[in-house]
């Protein structure tokens, strides 16, 4: 009898755990989407000589490292000084189970013009969790830390509002046959990310 009770409890636990991780790309659930359009977040002069495009995944260790070591300098020294224009695209790799929901949550933060704050906090959380599965409460914590309206954020995530936007970003990636994240394109040419220094050297050369 005790064994039977244990099996029932364990099965219930598994079902609850799995329900935390939604498959937002499952075509059978598409009828539940309440899709809206949203532009990719971008920084600064759209007429700049150098157009930078970053494909990223919040659970990707290399993307986390890129955010730590390169992102702030791009923003402060290149974008905010009108030297470049750059934008972010989502590409949640299928080996990263948190990444699709992270991307969706980030776009819901973008809806409230808090994409930068949310992205920084999301990368930090993924770095701390070290491949553990995230829950909706984890992402809500990131949203609160990023000063989002939690009620609006929760509704956006619940409605899977920007799943099509993620798919559009992924389709753009697949057109150019990219294989890893992060991938950074300057004027549609892939930039080598062997080191921050080499990256800035290439960027400076393109600007000149």
3-class DSSP string for 11-54: HHHHHHHHHHCCCCCCHHHHHHCCCCCCCCCEECCCCCCEEEEE
Give residue-wise pLDDT tens across range 9-66: 333 332 333 334 567 766 666 556 667 778 888 887 778 889 999 999 999 999 999 9
Residues of the chain with pLDDT under 50: 1-20
* pLDDT score at 12: 35
**Which CATH code, of 3.30.930.10, 3.40.30.10, 1.10.3720.10, 3.40.50.620, is assigned to 34-207?**
3.40.30.10
pLDDT at 8: 34
**pLDDT value of position 16:** 31
* pLDDT value at residue 106: 97
SS3 annotation, the chain: CHHHHHHHHHHHHHHHHHHHCCCCCCHHHHHHCCCCCCCCCEECCCCCCEEEEEEECCCCHHHHHHHHHHHHHHHHHHHCCCCEEEEEEECCCCCCCCHHHHHHHHHHHHHCCCHHHHHHHHHHHHHHHCCCCCCHHHHHHHHHHCCCCHHHHHHHHHCCCCHHHHHHHHHHHHHCCCCCCCEEEECCEECCCCCHHHHHHHHHHHHC
Q: Give this prediction's pTM.
A: 0.82
What is the rounded CA–CA span in Å between residue 119 and residue 146?
9
Strand partners, 52: 86, 186
Percent of the chain with pLDDT over 90: 55
């Amino acid at each position: 009898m005790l064994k039977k009770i244990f099996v029932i409890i364990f099965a219930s636990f598994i079902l609850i755990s799995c329900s935390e991780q939604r498959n937002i790309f499952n075509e059978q659930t598409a009828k539940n989407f309440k899709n809206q359009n949203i532009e990719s977040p971008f920084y600064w002069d759209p007429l700049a000589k150098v157009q930078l495009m970053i494909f990223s995944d919040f659970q990707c260790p290399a993307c986390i490292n890129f955010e730590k070591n390169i992102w702030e300098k791009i923003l402060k020294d290149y974008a905010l000084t009108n030297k470049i224009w750059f934008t972010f695209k989502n590409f949640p790799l299928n080996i990263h189970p948190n990444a699709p929901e992270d991307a969706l949550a980030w776009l819901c933060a973008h809806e409230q013009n808090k994409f930068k704050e949310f992205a920084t906090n999301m990368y930090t959380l993924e770095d701390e969790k070290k491949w553990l599965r995230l829950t909706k409460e984890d992402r809500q914590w990131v949203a609160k830390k990023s000063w989002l309206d939690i009620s609006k954020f929760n509704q956006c995530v619940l409605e899977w509002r920007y799943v099509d936007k993620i798919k559009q970003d992924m389709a753009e990636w697949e057109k150019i046959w990219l294989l890893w994240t992060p991938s950074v394109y300057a004027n549609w040419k892939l930039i080598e990310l062997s080191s921050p220094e080499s990256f800035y050297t290439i960027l400076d050369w393109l600007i000149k």
